[in-house]
Amino acid sequence: MVVLVLAMVMLGAFFLSRFIERAMTEMLVEMRAKHATQLRGEAYSALEATLAVLADYQAEDGGLFSPAQGWGDPLSVVDYAPRSGTRVDVEFIDESGKISLPKLDAAGLEELARFLDLKDMDASRFADAFLAWTRSNHVSSHYETDPRNYEFADPPHKAPARAIESFDELAAIAVVRDFFYDQDGQPTERLAQLERAVSLYEFPTANINGASEEALILAGLDAGQATEILDYNAGKGRRAADADKFFRNMADVQTLLGSRIDLQGFATEVQCLRIRVTAREGTTALRVEAVIVPTSAANRQRQAQQAAAQQNAEQANEAPGGNVSSGAVSLQYPFTVLALDESIELQAAPPP
How do residues 51-102 score in pLDDT, each as one tens digit?
999 999 999 988 999 999 999 999 999 999 998 889 999 999 999 999 999 9
CATH superfamily name and code, 99-206: EpsJ-like (1.10.40.60)
First to last CA, the chain: 53
**pLDDT for res 325:** 45
Q: Is the peptide bond before 74 cis (omega within 30 degrees of 0)?
A: no
**pLDDT for res 311:** 60
Helix, strand or coil for residue 92? strand
Q: At what angle do helices 189-197 and 106-115 cross, to 10 degrees?
A: 130
**pLDDT for res 346:** 66
**pLDDT for res 240:** 46
Instruction: Give the predicted TM-score (pTM) of the model.
Output: 0.78
**pLDDT for res 236:** 78
pLDDT in tens, 99-133: 999 999 999 999 999 999 999 999 999 999 999 99
Measured distance CA(102)–CA(219) in Å, rounded:
15
Question: What would the 3-class secondary structure string for 232-285 be?
Answer: HHCCCCCCCCCCCCCCCCHHHHHHHHCCCCCCCCEECCCCCEEEEEEEEECCEE
276 neighbors 88 (Cβ within 8 angstroms): no
Distances in whole angstroms, Cα of residue 233 to Cα of each of 209, 214, 227: 6, 15, 10
170-209 burial, b if ≥16 CB within 10 A, otherwise e?
Answer: beebbbbbebbbeeeeebeeebeebbebbbbbebebbbbb
Q: Considering only CA atoms, which of 181, 244, 260 is closest in space to residue 209?
A: 244
Q: At what angle do helices 223-233 and 250-257 cross, to 10 degrees?
A: 120
**pLDDT for res 298:** 44
Secondary structure element (H or E) that encloses residue 294, with its range: strand 284-294
In one letter, which amino acid is 175? V
Question: What would the 3-class secondary structure string for 4-72 be?
Answer: HHHHHHHHHHHHHHHHHHHHHHHHHHHHHHHHHHHHHHHHHHHHHHHHHHHHHHHHHHCCCCCHHHCCC
290 neighbors 339 (Cβ within 8 angstroms): yes
295 neighbors 342 (Cβ within 8 angstroms): no
Q: At what angle do helices 120-134 and 106-115 cross, to 10 degrees?
A: 130
Q: Considering only CA atoms, which of 194, 200, 215 is closest in space to residue 265?
A: 215
Calculate mean pLDDT across residues 291-303: 67
The ranges assigned to domains in the chain are 23-64+72-93+272-346, 99-206
**pLDDT for res 27:** 56
Q: Is 145 exposed, middle or buried (0-12, 13-18, 19+ CB in 10 A)?
A: buried
Measured distance CA(294)–CA(296) in Å, rounded:
6
Of 31-40, 188-197, 306-315, 324-333, least confident by mean pLDDT is 324-333
- Please state the φ and ψ torsions of residue 100, each to the nearest 5 degrees: -75, 110
